[in-house]
A and B are shown apart, each in its own frame.
Chain A
Amino acid sequence: IAGITQAPTSQILAAGRRMTLRCTQDMRHNAMYWYRQDLGLGLRLIHYSNTAGTTGKGEVPDGYSVSRANTDDFPLTLASAVPSQTSVYFCATGEMNSGANVLTFGAGSRLTVL
Protein backbone atom coordinates (compact mmCIF):
# COMPACT_ATOMS: atom_id res chain seq x y z
CA ILE A 1 0.00 0.00 0.00
CA ALA A 2 1.47 3.32 -1.10
CA GLY A 3 2.01 5.96 1.51
CA ILE A 4 4.15 7.18 4.37
CA THR A 5 5.40 4.99 7.19
CA GLN A 6 6.47 6.55 10.48
CA ALA A 7 8.16 4.68 13.33
CA PRO A 8 7.84 4.37 16.21
CA THR A 9 4.13 5.04 16.66
CA SER A 10 4.69 5.99 20.27
CA GLN A 11 7.74 6.29 22.51
CA ILE A 12 8.54 7.32 26.07
CA LEU A 13 12.05 8.65 26.41
CA ALA A 14 14.25 9.81 29.27
CA ALA A 15 15.58 13.35 29.03
CA GLY A 16 19.09 13.49 27.62
CA ARG A 17 18.67 10.42 25.42
CA ARG A 18 19.15 10.43 21.67
CA MET A 19 16.15 9.51 19.53
CA THR A 20 15.58 9.09 15.81
CA LEU A 21 12.09 9.17 14.34
CA ARG A 22 11.93 7.35 11.04
CA CYS A 23 9.91 8.34 7.98
CA THR A 24 9.77 6.38 4.73
CA GLN A 25 7.64 7.06 1.66
CA ASP A 26 6.99 5.04 -1.45
CA MET A 27 5.26 7.71 -3.52
CA ARG A 28 8.49 9.13 -4.98
CA HIS A 29 7.55 12.66 -3.89
CA ASN A 30 10.50 15.06 -3.98
CA ALA A 31 9.63 17.20 -0.97
CA MET A 32 9.46 15.94 2.62
CA TYR A 33 8.69 17.72 5.87
CA TRP A 34 8.70 17.23 9.63
CA TYR A 35 6.08 19.00 11.73
CA ARG A 36 5.32 18.89 15.43
CA GLN A 37 1.79 19.37 16.71
CA ASP A 38 1.07 20.74 20.16
CA LEU A 39 -2.28 21.61 21.71
CA GLY A 40 -3.22 25.21 20.96
CA LEU A 41 -0.23 25.77 18.68
CA GLY A 42 -1.13 23.73 15.65
CA LEU A 43 1.40 22.21 13.27
CA ARG A 44 4.82 23.85 13.25
CA LEU A 45 7.49 23.08 10.66
CA ILE A 46 10.76 21.72 12.08
CA HIS A 47 12.83 20.86 8.99
CA TYR A 48 12.15 20.20 5.36
CA SER A 49 13.82 18.80 2.25
CA ASN A 50 12.86 19.89 -1.26
CA THR A 51 14.81 17.06 -2.87
CA ALA A 52 17.26 14.31 -1.97
CA GLY A 53 20.57 15.72 -0.75
CA THR A 54 19.15 19.06 0.46
CA THR A 55 17.57 20.14 3.75
CA GLY A 56 16.33 23.38 5.26
CA LYS A 57 15.26 24.79 8.60
CA GLY A 58 11.64 25.46 9.41
CA GLU A 59 10.04 27.51 12.15
CA VAL A 60 11.26 25.46 15.16
CA PRO A 61 14.52 23.65 14.18
CA ASP A 62 16.50 23.94 17.43
CA GLY A 63 17.32 20.60 19.04
CA TYR A 64 16.53 18.65 15.88
CA SER A 65 18.50 17.48 12.86
CA VAL A 66 17.55 15.73 9.62
CA SER A 67 19.20 14.04 6.67
CA ARG A 68 17.97 13.17 3.19
CA ALA A 69 20.31 10.58 1.69
CA ASN A 70 17.71 9.34 -0.80
CA THR A 71 14.20 10.14 -2.03
CA ASP A 72 12.37 7.73 0.25
CA ASP A 73 13.81 8.33 3.74
CA PHE A 74 13.79 11.43 5.93
CA PRO A 75 14.75 10.65 9.55
CA LEU A 76 14.44 13.23 12.34
CA THR A 77 16.97 13.06 15.18
CA LEU A 78 16.77 14.54 18.66
CA ALA A 79 20.39 14.59 19.82
CA SER A 80 19.58 15.09 23.50
CA ALA A 81 15.86 15.04 24.23
CA VAL A 82 14.27 17.59 26.57
CA PRO A 83 10.74 17.58 28.07
CA SER A 84 9.65 20.48 25.80
CA GLN A 85 10.09 18.13 22.85
CA THR A 86 7.14 16.09 24.08
CA SER A 87 4.78 16.29 21.12
CA VAL A 88 3.18 14.46 18.22
CA TYR A 89 5.49 14.45 15.21
CA PHE A 90 4.14 14.22 11.68
CA CYS A 91 6.17 13.48 8.59
CA ALA A 92 4.71 14.68 5.30
CA THR A 93 5.52 14.54 1.60
CA GLY A 94 4.73 17.22 -0.95
CA GLU A 95 3.60 16.78 -4.52
CA MET A 96 3.03 19.64 -6.94
CA ASN A 97 -0.46 19.32 -8.43
CA SER A 98 -1.73 22.11 -10.72
CA GLY A 99 0.55 24.60 -8.99
CA ALA A 100 -0.35 23.46 -5.47
CA ASN A 101 2.10 21.73 -3.15
CA VAL A 102 -0.36 19.26 -1.61
CA LEU A 103 0.96 17.60 1.53
CA THR A 104 0.27 13.99 2.49
CA PHE A 105 0.86 13.18 6.15
CA GLY A 106 2.04 10.05 7.91
CA ALA A 107 0.11 8.69 10.88
CA GLY A 108 2.34 10.46 13.39
CA SER A 109 4.76 9.53 16.18
CA ARG A 110 3.78 10.41 19.73
CA LEU A 111 6.89 11.20 21.79
CA THR A 112 6.95 11.74 25.54
CA VAL A 113 10.17 13.00 27.14
CA LEU A 114 10.38 12.59 30.90
Chain B
Amino acid sequence: GQNIDQPTEMTATEGAIVQINCTYQTSGFNGLFWYQQHAGEAPTFLSYNVLDGLEEKGRFSSFLSRSKGYSYLLLKELQMKDSASYLCAVSDGDYKLSFGAGTTVTVRA
Protein backbone atom coordinates (compact mmCIF):
# COMPACT_ATOMS: atom_id res chain seq x y z
CA GLY B 1 0.00 0.00 0.00
CA GLN B 2 0.87 3.66 -0.02
CA ASN B 3 1.38 6.13 2.81
CA ILE B 4 1.35 9.73 1.57
CA ASP B 5 1.78 12.75 3.83
CA GLN B 6 1.38 16.42 3.03
CA PRO B 7 0.52 19.47 5.15
CA THR B 8 -3.17 20.22 5.67
CA GLU B 9 -3.11 23.96 5.06
CA MET B 10 -0.81 26.75 3.88
CA THR B 11 -1.37 30.49 3.53
CA ALA B 12 0.63 32.88 1.38
CA THR B 13 0.45 36.38 -0.04
CA GLU B 14 -0.31 37.23 -3.64
CA GLY B 15 2.94 37.38 -5.65
CA ALA B 16 4.84 35.20 -3.19
CA ILE B 17 6.19 31.65 -3.50
CA VAL B 18 4.82 28.60 -1.71
CA GLN B 19 6.35 25.12 -1.48
CA ILE B 20 4.11 22.14 -0.70
CA ASN B 21 6.00 19.09 0.52
CA CYS B 22 4.92 15.49 0.09
CA THR B 23 6.52 12.38 1.56
CA TYR B 24 5.53 8.88 0.60
CA GLN B 25 6.16 5.23 1.29
CA THR B 26 5.23 2.89 -1.51
CA SER B 27 5.29 -0.79 -2.42
CA GLY B 28 5.81 -0.02 -6.11
CA PHE B 29 6.51 3.20 -7.92
CA ASN B 30 5.60 4.42 -11.39
CA GLY B 31 5.69 8.14 -10.78
CA LEU B 32 4.47 10.96 -8.61
CA PHE B 33 1.67 13.31 -9.65
CA TRP B 34 0.34 16.65 -8.48
CA TYR B 35 -3.29 17.60 -9.04
CA GLN B 36 -5.10 20.88 -8.36
CA GLN B 37 -8.65 20.92 -7.06
CA HIS B 38 -10.72 24.08 -6.65
CA ALA B 39 -13.55 23.94 -4.13
CA GLY B 40 -16.55 22.05 -5.48
CA GLU B 41 -14.75 20.98 -8.64
CA ALA B 42 -12.93 17.92 -9.97
CA PRO B 43 -9.16 17.49 -9.61
CA THR B 44 -7.10 18.50 -12.65
CA PHE B 45 -3.63 17.27 -13.59
CA LEU B 46 -0.70 19.61 -12.89
CA SER B 47 2.54 17.67 -13.12
CA TYR B 48 4.27 14.30 -13.22
CA ASN B 49 7.73 13.17 -12.07
CA VAL B 50 9.16 9.70 -12.53
CA LEU B 51 12.89 10.52 -12.47
CA ASP B 52 14.74 12.49 -9.80
CA GLY B 53 14.93 16.20 -10.37
CA LEU B 54 12.92 19.27 -11.15
CA GLU B 55 10.18 19.59 -13.75
CA GLU B 56 9.19 23.16 -14.57
CA LYS B 57 5.92 24.16 -16.16
CA GLY B 58 5.34 27.89 -16.17
CA ARG B 59 4.73 29.19 -12.65
CA PHE B 60 4.58 25.65 -11.28
CA SER B 61 7.53 23.32 -10.67
CA SER B 62 7.66 19.85 -9.16
CA PHE B 63 10.63 18.05 -7.66
CA LEU B 64 11.20 14.38 -6.90
CA SER B 65 13.74 12.43 -4.87
CA ARG B 66 12.96 8.72 -5.12
CA SER B 67 15.63 7.68 -2.61
CA LYS B 68 14.11 9.99 0.03
CA GLY B 69 10.47 9.32 -0.90
CA TYR B 70 10.02 13.07 -1.21
CA SER B 71 8.47 15.53 -3.60
CA TYR B 72 7.50 19.17 -3.55
CA LEU B 73 5.31 21.41 -5.65
CA LEU B 74 6.53 24.99 -5.98
CA LEU B 75 4.05 27.70 -6.88
CA LYS B 76 5.63 30.99 -7.93
CA GLU B 77 4.15 34.47 -8.42
CA LEU B 78 1.03 33.40 -6.58
CA GLN B 79 -2.29 34.63 -7.89
CA MET B 80 -5.68 34.66 -6.17
CA LYS B 81 -6.87 31.96 -8.58
CA ASP B 82 -4.20 29.61 -7.16
CA SER B 83 -6.27 29.26 -3.97
CA ALA B 84 -7.17 25.57 -4.13
CA SER B 85 -6.29 22.16 -2.76
CA TYR B 86 -3.16 20.50 -4.12
CA LEU B 87 -3.13 16.72 -4.13
CA CYS B 88 0.02 14.61 -4.13
CA ALA B 89 -0.50 11.17 -5.70
CA VAL B 90 1.73 8.14 -6.19
CA SER B 91 1.37 5.62 -9.01
CA ASP B 92 1.95 2.05 -7.87
CA GLY B 93 3.31 -0.92 -9.79
CA ASP B 94 -0.06 -1.42 -11.49
CA TYR B 95 -0.33 2.28 -12.40
CA LYS B 96 -3.14 2.90 -9.92
CA LEU B 97 -2.98 6.27 -8.16
CA SER B 98 -3.11 6.70 -4.40
CA PHE B 99 -3.70 10.24 -3.14
CA GLY B 100 -2.65 12.19 -0.10
CA ALA B 101 -5.33 14.08 1.82
CA GLY B 102 -4.43 17.32 0.04
CA THR B 103 -3.02 20.70 1.02
CA THR B 104 -5.38 23.67 1.00
CA VAL B 105 -3.54 26.80 -0.15
CA THR B 106 -5.10 30.17 0.60
CA VAL B 107 -3.72 33.18 -1.26
CA ARG B 108 -4.28 36.52 0.46
CA ALA B 109 -4.12 39.94 -1.16
Residues of A participating in the B interface, judged by any CB pair closer than 8 Å? 31, 33, 35, 40-45, 48, 50, 58-59, 90, 94, 96, 99-108
Kindly state the separation between the CA atoms of A107 and B42 in the bound complex, as whole angstroms: 5
Contact A99 B50 (CB under 8 A): yes
Which one of A33, A42, A48, A58 has the greatest number of beta carbons of chain B within 10 Å? A42
Contact between A41 and B101, CB atoms less than 8 A apart: yes
Q: Could you tell me which B residues sit within 8 Å of A by CB distance?
A: 1, 30-31, 33, 35, 41-45, 48, 50, 87, 89, 91, 94-102
Q: Are A42 and B102 in contact (CB under 8 A)?
A: yes
Within the complex, the shortest CB–CB distance from B8 to chain A, in Å, comes to: 8
- Chain B residues near A31: list those with CB within 8 A: 95
Binding site of A, secondary structure by majority: helix, strand, loop or mixed? Answer: strand
What is the CA–CA distance of A110 and B44 in the complex, to the nearest angstrom?
18
Chain B residues with Cβ below 8 Å from A48 are 96
A58-B96, A101-B91 given; A42·B43 CB < 8 A: no
Given A90-B43, A101-B30, A106-B42, A45–B97 Cβ distance below 8 Å? yes
Instruction: Verify B91–A42 contact, CB threshold 8 A.
Output: no
Q: Among B43, B48, B87, B98, which residue has its beta carbon within 8 angstroms of that of A59? A: B98
Report how far A45 CA is from B89 CA in the complex, Å: 12
Contacts of A99 in B (CB 8 A): 30-31, 50
Which residue from chain B places its CB closest to the CB of A45 in the assembled complex? B96
The residue that A102 contacts in the complex, of B41, B45, B100, with Cβ under 8 A, is B45
CB contacts (< 8 Å) of B43 on chain A: these are 43, 90, 103, 105
B45 and A103 form a contact (CB under 8 A)? yes
How far is A39 from B81 in the complex, measured between Cα atoms in Å? 22
Contacting A42 at CB < 8 Å: which of B31, B95, B100?
A: B100
Contacts of B45 in A (CB 8 A): 102-104
Q: How far is the CB of B88 from chain A (nearest CB, A)?
A: 9
Smallest Cβ distance from A100 to chain B, in angstroms?
5
B99 touches A42 (CB 8 A): yes
Chain B's nearest CB lies how many Å from the CB of A105?
4
Inter-subunit contact B101/A40 (CB<8 Å): yes
